[in-house]
Amino acid sequence: MSATRLVFWRHGESEYNRSRRIQGMIDAPLSPLGVAQAQEAAARLVAHAPVRLFSSDLARAHDTAAALAALLGGEVRTDERFRERFLGGWEDRLYAEVLEEHPDMIELLRGSRANDGVPADGEHPETVAACVLAGLTDALEATSSDETLVITAHGLAILYAVRELLGEDASATLDPLKNAHWTVLERADADAPWRLVSHN
């Protein structure tokens, strides 16, 4: 078994997103707006007829996925491999503050695959992508080819993984997803390459 339709869904606005604070692996909850975004997006995602729901174990992703699970009467399986990139000493600081000290951080916000000047204790994009793809492999194997798999995760983690799945040429213009938005990928069969259907 291996799904041929995949939806990567970014969590709704978190309290850290709302206050423009860097969160990375910090387990920030959804803001009231984030809860509403998750519910609104879930109502639209139902049209994709998802069957399997996987999520990062961080609350902002899990609670977003739970909005869809509630509509489907299903469950969310959590996996720490879908977590956001660890940003070391930048976490829990205001974006504006860090940008003033490290102007090159703007490349991270654009989803750069370079190390972006992240502190030495931060995580490299390649490490994040490898973790997400390992979790994805297991999730795909648990999903039949005629079923849609939804993975709820985080902006940078999703972008790094999608770029690996599509390759450099097909993903060169992709930006990180906005809160509660998603990317849809499809392939003809388990051995075929993924192709981008939508990235909103």
Catalytic residue, candidates 13, 84, 91, 164: 84
Edge to edge, what strands does the sheet with 50-55 contain?
A: 76-78, 50-55, 148-153, 5-10, 182-186, 195-199
Can 199 be counted among the known catalytic residues?
no
* All residues at 6 or more sequence positions from 51 whose CB lies less than 8 Å from its CB, including other chains: 74, 143, 144, 147, 148, 149
Q: How many whole angstroms separate alpha carbon 103 and alpha carbon 158? A: 24
Distances (CA, A) of 155 to 10, 37, 71, 93, 175: 6, 15, 24, 18, 9
The Cβ-side half-sphere exposure at 40, using a 13 Å CA radius, reads 11
- 126 catalytic? Reply is no
**Of the residues 11, 154, 181, 199, which is catalytic?**
11
Q: Using the 8-state DSSP alphabet, how is residue 24 labeled? A: T
Q: What are the φ/ψ torsions at residue 71 (nearest 5 degrees)?
A: -75, -30
Give the residue numbers marked as catalytic: 11, 84
